[in-house]
Amino acid sequence: MKIAREIALKIKNAEDIVVISHIDADGITAGSIAARSLERLGKNFRIEFVKQLDARIIGNLKDENPQLVWFTDLGSGMLHEMYGLNAVITDHHVPSASQVVLPREKRKNLSTFFDALNKTEILQLNPHLFNKDGAVDISGSGTTYLVARELDRRNVDLSALAIVGAIGDMQDTEYLKLVGTNRILLREAKENGYIDYFMDARFFGRETRPVYKMLQYSTDPILPTITGDEKAAMRFLRELGIPLKRESWRRWIDLTIEERKLILSELVKLILRMGYGHELASRLIGEVYILSHEERGTPLRDAKEFATLLNACGRYRQAFIGYQVCLGDRDEYYKRALSMLSRHRRNLVEGINFVKEIGLIKREYLQYFHAGSNINENIVGIVASMILSEEGKEQLPIIAFANSEDGNIKVSVRSPRVLVNQGVDFSIIMKEASAMVGGYGGGHNIAAGASIPPGKEEEFIDIVEKMLQKQLEGANSRIS
């Protein structure tokens, strides 16, 4: 790809480089791919992981004035702020503008205008510029990898990280497999022996969790009567004659093919019998991605588990730990990453228990809770989705509030898929409702978020409920 080669050339021509990346799994893998390729080129560089790229961070970079900044898994949305920076971007988020916006004083005089434009050369590789869908086609780690392989053929060993990044951004969830440009990376990773992929159960924890736990915690798909109920999960397996334990708890990878097939076919029957339909049943099976060089039974072996480990690091502002694991540490940093993961799991369990204790406040069209400072703002959205998935069929959207460290109130909303299928779009609701109370927000139709001033929660809920009602009525009138 031409633009990947151009970016690679620009990187080769710089000696002193700053890499800025995002703190989630895709950002951590992207940063690791960039760092390893710069290391192989013998460049001077430093790397920094940020939660969000804002004008202040870009301002600091301009002051620091390195020869080149390489933004990975972020940057495209802040292009308009980058005047004066020599930068390359490998990202998959929606670009803010087709070109750099010059400050007003530079625009006044035509000659300084062109002069400035020539000096401000920012190259970006982003699927949106090729009319591809940045949510499924390729991730930030994928675009970074496309540049890395132009830099050095040896970097093909980083292809596995690009797959972990794509899975971390859930690029496989819509089609139950990776598609588009991701497919090209996937084949390359397989041909070179770094990744194996095949159809199997899509459950989280295939490599590490006891099977009954894996079923108990399944949220995509929800297993009616089993998700959220440990005893029911155990009973289900026992009734099929599947031993839960040998020397230790049996994991999915410990089961025979026949046992796996039996479980899956019984789960399909259960889902259909309970009236959830084929669409849900079809989500049981999909493509799974195995890192061939990682040890069996560890959280690094399955791409989904690897990504979760990295996300756990990022969520608690320890992206650097995940970064070291991506670069190969299996000692000190790996241990710390594992402890981040168990801390994360503990926090989720405590979060769910907290919400059960205070109870959800039910309205006609939605339900909500306010966690205050009892649940970390970075996991309150996950807590909301877990509660939603435990509720079974009669679900209302959940709005979760939590105190944010910036003094505002963090809002997370999770919607049942059925409502989204009926036309509900929470990205619009969050954006408009938060603006009406002096905040900001956005996201996806099914999962969105906002930040609002403290004290505005009740007013916000009223607005959200009215907008939701309107969207639902609009949908119904279109049908009738």
Q: Which is nearer to Mn ion, 81 or 169 (CB)?
A: 169
Distance of CA 287 to the CA centre of its chain: 18
d(CA 192, CA 293): 11
To the nearest whole angstrom, how small is the minimum distance from the Cβ of residue 339 to Mn ion?
25
Specify which residues 451 forms β-bridges with: 410, 440
Q: How far is residue 154 CA from its own chain's centroid? A: 27
Torsion angle of C-alpha atoms 118, 119, 125, 130, degrees rounded to 10: -20
Q: What would the x/- binding string for Mn ion be over residues 179 to 208, using CB under 5 A?
A: ------------------------------
The binder of Mn ion chosen from 31, 75, 127, 140 (CB under 5 A): 140
Interaction pattern, residues 45-64, with Mn ion; x per rule: CB under 5 A: --------------------
The residue written with tokens 């299928």 in the block is 421
SS3 at position 189: helix
Kindly report whether the peptide bond that precedes residue 416 is cis, defined as omega within 30 degrees of 0. no
The nearer residue to Mn ion, 307 or 464, going by C-beta atoms, is 307
> Nearer Cβ to Mn ion, position 160 or 387?
160
For Cα atoms 189, 192, 195, give the angle at the middle one, nearest 5 degrees: 40
Which stretch in 126-134, 139-147, 241-249, 370-378 sits in contact with Mn ion by CB under 5 A?
A: 139-147
Closest CA to 19 of 43, 49, 42: 49
Helix locations, 42-153, DSSP H:
55-64, 104-107, 110-119, 140-151
Q: Please, what is the minimum distance in Å from the beta carbon of residue 165 to Mn ion?
A: 7
- Binding-site size, Mn ion (CB under 5 A): 5
Under the binding rule (CB under 5 A), the answer on residue 91 touching Mn ion is no
Does residue number 73 form part of the binding site for Mn ion (CB under 5 A)?
Answer: yes
Distance of CA 80 to the CA centre of its chain: 25
3-state SS record for 407-467: CCEEEEEECCHHHHHCCCCHHHHHHHHHHHCCCEEEECCCEEEEEECCCCHHHHHHHHHHH
Of the pair 26, 294, the CB lying nearest Mn ion is at 26
Binding mask 257-296 for Mn ion (x = CB under 5 A): ----------------------------------------
Cβ at position 181, least distance to Mn ion in Å: 14
Among residues 17, 23, 26, 397, the one that binds Mn ion under rule CB under 5 A: 26
Stretch that binds Mn ion, among 7-15, 47-55, 166-174, 300-308 (CB under 5 A): 166-174
Cα–Cα dist 331/296, whole Å = 17
Residue 317 Cβ vs Mn ion, minimum distance, rounded to whole Å: 18
Beta-strand pair 440-443/409-414: unpaired
- Stretch of 63-71, 115-123, 164-172, 371-379 contacting Mn ion, by CB under 5 A: 164-172
- C-alpha 163/C-alpha 289 separation (Å) is 8
| Closest to Mn ion by CB, 95 or 439 | 95
Give the three-state DSSP class for 144: helix
Whole-number minimum distance, CB 411 to Mn ion, in Å? 22
Q: How far is the CB of 467 from Mn ion (least distance, A)?
A: 28
Nearer to Mn ion, 189 or 360 (CB): 189
Contact 79, 58 (CB under 8 A): no
Q: Does 169 bind Mn ion (CB under 5 A)?
A: yes
Instruction: Report the distance separating Cα 133 and Cα 139, nearest Å.
Output: 10
Helix ranges (DSSP H) in 240-391: 257-273, 277-281, 303-315, 319-326, 332-358, 380-390
As measured in angstroms, the least distance from the Cβ of 215 to Mn ion is 29
**Tokens (6 digits) for 98:** 């087709």
Please state whether beta strands 195-201 and 285-291 pair in parallel, antiparallel, or not at all (unpaired): antiparallel
Q: Which residues ranging from 373 to 412 are in contact with Mn ion (CB under 5 A)? A: none
Q: What's the closest the beta carbon of residue 169 comes to Mn ion, in angstroms?
A: 4
Contact call for residue 31 and Mn ion (CB under 5 A): no
CB closest to Mn ion, residue no? 26
- Interior CA angle at 144 toward 38 and 291, to 5°? 95
Q: Which stretch binds Mn ion (CB under 5 A): 134-142, 333-341, 454-462, 471-479?
A: 134-142
Q: Residue 30 Cβ, how far from Mn ion at the closest point, in Å?
A: 7
Segment contacting Mn ion by CB under 5 A, of 44-52, 133-141, 224-232, 301-309: 133-141
Tell me the closest approach of the beta carbon of residue 22 to Mn ion, in angstroms. Answer: 6
Cβ 183 to Mn ion shortest distance, Å: 18
Q: How far is the CB of 480 from Mn ion (least distance, A)?
A: 40
Q: Which is nearer to Mn ion, 66 or 140 (CB)?
A: 140
Stretch that binds Mn ion, among 67-75, 205-213, 232-240, 249-257 (CB under 5 A): 67-75
**Structure token digits, residue 320:** 């650097």
Report the interface residues with Mn ion, using CB under 5 A: 26, 73, 139-140, 169
